[in-house]
Structure 1
């Protein structure tokens, strides 16, 4: 799982670099605004059914195994119908909107939303039935790999519409592969059932959990992508391209950390359902530390060597350096909290998560509208970082009240101190001596890696690294 997620992060980095090289800041801004709208629409189109599968199916396997297959069929049919309605709604609305370049890319991308929704539900079903490999191979490797291949070979062209096609077509391929994979997993890992369709009670359980998650997921993705859209609206496509590219570099690093969330989500659900608070607390604390160990070095390196990384995209992106550094600070806060959001969701309180996201998105949008006209893309980065702090704080308080599990602040501070001494200090020294160059980046990564690796060996007992294979 970690290998697949790491590969996905690298593919994401490569796609952003190639996008910047091909289209520059202006064209990249158009494509990234399309990606922003599509991703938000996907979070709504999936209707929270992916999370509902992770929450419900492990419990059904324990309590009523004969209901697993009908429940999964119901989720797929509901997702198919709802996503088709979302696509039709877009075309109905778009007829009244001015047809600009972003709108044209969205018209081309819209039909692939159905495939993206189905892929999301299919791989969630395999995860809920106890295997994360289809998610890692299909969602995290095959789909981004095909995107990069189509873009690099230029078989579809190199304009914004061609890049849109290269980004969306792999959803359809992934959906077909994931459907075949789910069929095999279901036959092997679930009990036969006399029913094809779920009962009304099961449908009610699915929708009661999933509908609030739809709002929460939409708000969650809005929180990630709203700043790109606001920057594009207020500062133009070039600014959106610079900020969006910097943000994609930072957010690509989340993929490795997300691997832990994917692995432990069903386990969280089972532990909450069984009432085993001791094991739940230990699992959360351990995985929170591992998340910071995985993500911390990435964000420290991106912050220090941001001029080098952005330079790979071309001269158009040099102005995004301060924003990228600020985003890295926010990312460190987010990964330091571990899987706090997942744990809150797996308690079954999807309505509470929806309220949290509503508050945080409102704060984020207002902050962007105030700060972007004054500070440009740096204002967008400050707004996002502040929003992440608020989102984490709300979830931490609510998890503590509902499960008595606390954020592991002391281990986080310990790891942050190690990152400062073992990664930041050597890399700053390398940058001051060798300058902001790609060879200096390579030397900085090597120096920080050796020092941080030594720390991991010396502090492995406190970090509980001996449990990684067993837990993750």
Structure 2
């Protein structure tokens, strides 16, 4: 649902707005997301890690202080940065919008600013619930309800302005952000429910001030590097749009945003699987159970390849058809699409490696990796965007993706003693490469076209998944978010 809704919002904005107005919307959402990443203070990862660890160690009395330690600063930071975004909308717009586009960009930023706390708290509250192994609220609220409401809201305003050439960017931005309000309220209610259940029969006495102070220091020592790393990680995902807007104009930014839209679909699969596995992995590493941690990592990677490789391979072999969905004005972005799709094949087969590194307590390493990747992306983008436009940004992002996956892959192998290349990963990669790579390319060579080949490959993929369902741990995937454990042999 989240993936379809995201593509739907992009299609509505791109197809019903002028290219410059669409670029304003995409650039504004990118800026809003970056500011929200700063306001989170790196707390969501700690809010998964520490509740999971405290529960595994039987320290239920510290759960309440842990929530206050993490959530209160995030709430304060989100309100403060929302106010700053409101006041500084004009100078921020001047950074990445040309002179003609600055008023519309500033108006869109001002429309989004009051909703920043709701967006930030939604993620923090749902992350905390996952620390109690409550994955269902994330699935229902953040993967289904929020994107569904965003699609409906954007669709409604587009419909109202259908005859007038499309709504103003600030109206689109407001419609996109308003759904965070009800979702934040519902996320708070879900967290209260799971927290109350967890402390109903505490197994430890209430903590004293010394224990709480020690937890506060450990919480923010863990979260500190992650705070910077999470902002840099968001920058890897969003700053490319802003760089294209600043160096190539808002119209070019719209083209690049459309070309890279499919990345968000693959990232949703990564996020969903990572969030389901994250608390269990934290418990396994906290108790020194390396074998179980390896099983979880390999199972999660196999699932990720199983879900994401068909998308990336399909976009790679049928890039013009994909871009044609958004209008003829965007078809020139095929080389950028193909570059990004190839990079995501590499990223996916490495699995949720940054999450494993973080759950292993190596958040500083995570920070170093993301910093290096961002530096590579910005340097290459600055050199290539003025010459190649969207393709230059795609090359920069592809290089950053390689750095941000290969470096932590080597680190988790050495420090945590796990790797992602189990039987499920190998089976999923072989199936996807054959069905969505070899078959479509053979169809093109025989004159049948890529789309016909993808249709045939999709049928074969379904059969192959069923044949190799045991290696792929398909039963566990279909019950993701409900089962408390994953049982699977190592390879």
TM-score relative to the length of structure 2: 0.88
Distance verdict in 2 for CA 1:409–1:320, change over 3 Å: farther
Query: What's the CA shift for 1:200?
Result: 2.0
SS at 1:47 equivalent? coil
Q: Distance in 2 between matches of 1:458 and 1:185?
A: 38
Task: Summarize the alignment of residues 174-193 of structure 1 with structure 2, pairs less than 5 Å apart.
Answer: 174-191=183-200
Superposed CA offset, 1:422-458 (max 9, x none): 222333355567877xxx74x5443222211222233
Give 2:113's aligned residue. 110
2:77 is equivalent to residue 82 of structure 1 = yes
Conserved 8 A contact 1:55-1:348? no
Q: 1:235 aligns with which of 223, 248, 260?
A: 248
Give 1:22's aligned residue. 16
Deviates more, 1:123-132 or 1:444-453: 444-453
2:401 is equivalent to residue 382 of structure 1 = no
Conserved 8 A contact 1:150-1:156? no
Task: Summarize the alignment of residues 140-159 of structure 1 with structure 2, pairs less than 5 Å apart.
Answer: 140-154=143-157, 158-159=167-168
Q: Distance in 1 between matches of 2:244 and 2:208?
A: 48
Q: Distance in 2 between matches of 1:368 and 1:411?
A: 36
Superposed CA offset, 1:42-63 (max 9, x none): 1111111111111100111132
Query: What's the CA shift for 1:384?
Result: 0.8
Conserved 8 A contact 2:302-2:426? no
Conserved 8 A contact 1:25-1:317? no
Query: What's the CA shift for 1:278?
Result: 1.2
2:358 is equivalent to residue 349 of structure 1 = no
Give 2:179's aligned residue. 170
Distance verdict in 2 for CA 1:129–1:156, change over 3 Å: farther
Give 2:409's aligned residue. 396
Conserved 8 A contact 1:156-1:166? no
Conserved 8 A contact 1:257-1:294? no
Query: What's the CA shift for 1:235?
Result: 0.9
Conserved 8 A contact 2:294-2:420? no
Q: Distance in 2 between matches of 1:262 and 1:320?
A: 32
Distance verdict in 2 for CA 1:272–1:310, change over 3 Å: same
Task: Summarize the alignment of residues 316-465 of structure 1 with structure 2, pairs less than 5 Å apart.
Answer: 316-408=329-421, 412=425, 415-430=428-443, 441=451, 443-465=452-474
Give 1:3's aligned residue. none
Give 2:135's aligned residue. 132
2:279 is equivalent to residue 270 of structure 1 = no
Distance verdict in 2 for CA 1:368–1:96, change over 3 Å: closer
Conserved 8 A contact 1:57-1:129? yes
2:72 is equivalent to residue 72 of structure 1 = no
Distance verdict in 2 for CA 1:146–1:462, change over 3 Å: closer
Conserved 8 A contact 2:229-2:371? yes
Conserved 8 A contact 2:109-2:170? no
Q: Distance in 2 between matches of 1:456 and 1:386?
A: 31
Q: 1:44 aligns with which of 31, 38, 49?
A: 38
Distance verdict in 2 for CA 1:414–1:374, change over 3 Å: farther
Conserved 8 A contact 1:16-1:249? no
Give 2:97's aligned residue. none
Conserved 8 A contact 1:156-1:162? no
Query: What's the CA shift for 1:69?
Result: 1.9
Q: Distance in 2 between matches of 1:91 and 1:78?
A: 20
Distance verdict in 2 for CA 1:30–1:66, change over 3 Å: same
SS at 1:217 equivalent? helix
Query: What's the CA shift for 1:346?
Result: 0.3
Q: Gaps (5+ residues) in structure 1?
A: 1-6
Q: Distance in 2 between matches of 1:89 and 1:140?
A: 29
Query: What's the CA shift for 1:418?
Result: 3.0
Conserved 8 A contact 1:129-1:190? no
Aligned residues: 462
Q: Distance in 2 between matches of 1:348 and 1:356?
A: 14
Conserved 8 A contact 1:61-1:190? no
TM-score relative to the length of structure 1: 0.91
Conserved 8 A contact 2:381-2:392? yes
